[in-house]
Amino acid sequence: MDTRIAVFFQVRAQALVAVLQELVYAPAGTFLGAAVVAVALALPAGLYGLTVNVERLTGGWNRGNEVSIYLHRSVTDQAGRRLAANLAREPEVVAARYVSPNSGLQELARSGHFGNTLALLPHNPLPPVIVLKPRNALSAQGLSAFITEIRTIPDVATVEADLKWVQRLQAGLVVVRRIGILLAIALALAILVIIGNSARLQILNRRGEIELMKLVGATDGFIRRPFVYTGALQGLFGGMLGWLLLALGESALSFPVAHLAHLYGNRFTLHGPGLAGILDLGGVGFMLGWLGARIAVGRHLGDIEPAQV
């Protein structure tokens, strides 16, 4: 059993060494495949990064967006205060202030816009209100979900919040993200085809050698290995190269973007792919390369039999 395990690792290590040697002696082919993978991965990843940054930029724009919760007129001041205190304890909420009809009328009077007209009213037309300040980090979606929840409280008559434009932007981002996903799928398929085709060409080039290997009793797995390793390495290098493209893009844009934000009095800075992104893109490239080569080799290896030896 020990020798079996040793053989398992040995044949794989030998194949990997052969592939790496080939790569060192003839890097051009590998680089070309890797460059194609790099662009195909960087495009959707860049689009995704764009949506993340836009979302971060607009996330802060909920700031100062107060939510007005109008209660039924029948609700007593005591009940209103209790509700406000309860709401203030919710994780989505920074502060909740109860404004009774009377104090509302006083605030209105102090604002001075209405002059004497308020004094002429036969009775106070204002309902009890809770003014609620949501947490900044809350997304528009989270906020609207929270508001829907508030509407179900029996004492609540209506809720008013200026969410429309944020919701539109969020919906727009969802569309862009969907496009990114479709693009990613299309380009992933393209990577499979491109890596698969390069594996197919290598197989045709080495037809005679494959026939010879089959003749001396090589299993399909043994013959397949170098081609699959080559595809996986192309994918891995392609993913790392794609990360490099994104990082370069970020460093080219980060200063102008920060400057622009500064002019608008904003401290926004661009978020790039980050060091961990090299693992994500490299990993995705590796798997696509492995899969593309594996499928192509599986399809074409069966056609080659040592009939003409």
Partner 1 sequence: MIEFSHVSKHYREGHEAIRDLSFRIEREEMVFITGHSGAGKSTLLKLIARIEQPTRGQVVVDGKNLTRLPRRHIPSYRRRLGVVFQDNKFLHDRDVLENVGLPLAVRGTPASEIRKRASAALDKVGLLARAHAMPITLSGGEQQRVGIARAIAHRPDVLLADEPTGNLDGDLSDTIMDLFREFNEYGVTVIIATHDRRHISRLQKRAFMLKDGALIEDRPWDAR
Report the interface residues with partner 1, using CB under 8 A. 6-8, 10-11, 14, 208-209, 211-220, 222, 305-307, 309
CB of 7 to partner 1, least distance (A): 4
CB of 211 to partner 1, least distance (A): 7
CB of 174 to partner 1, least distance (A): 49
Q: Give 132's Cβ-side CA count (13 Å radius).
A: 30
Nearer of residues 147 and 223 to partner 1, judged by Cβ: 223
Alpha carbon 308 to its chain centroid, in Å, reads 53
Q: Which residues are paired to 95 by β-bridges? A: 133
CB of 213 to partner 1, least distance (A): 6
Is residue 57 within 8 A of residue 268, CB to CB? The reply is yes
CB of 6 to partner 1, least distance (A): 8
In 3D, which of 214, 139, 211 has the Cα closest to residue 169?
139
Can you spell out the DSSP letters for 83-107? HHHHHHTSTTEEEEEEE-HHHHHHH
Nearer of residues 226 and 238 to partner 1, judged by Cβ: 226
Determine the Cα–Cα distance for residues 146 and 143; give it in Å rounded to an integer. Answer: 5
CB of 302 to partner 1, least distance (A): 8
Nearer of residues 25 and 264 to partner 1, judged by Cβ: 25
Nearer of residues 7 and 189 to partner 1, judged by Cβ: 7
Work out the burial of residue 130: count CB atoms within 10 Å of its CB; fewer than 13 is exposed, 13-18 middle, 19 or more buried.
Answer: buried
Nearer of residues 215 and 253 to partner 1, judged by Cβ: 215
Nearer of residues 8 and 255 to partner 1, judged by Cβ: 8
SS3 state at 309:
coil
* Overall size of the chain counted in residues: 309
Can you spell out the DSSP letters for 147-194? HHHHHTSTTEEEEE---HHHHHHHHHHHHHHHHHHHHHHHHHHHHHHH
CB of 28 to partner 1, least distance (A): 16
Q: Using DSSP bridges, classify how beta strands 93-99 and 156-160 pair: parallel, antiparallel or unpaired.
A: unpaired
Nearer of residues 71 and 294 to partner 1, judged by Cβ: 294
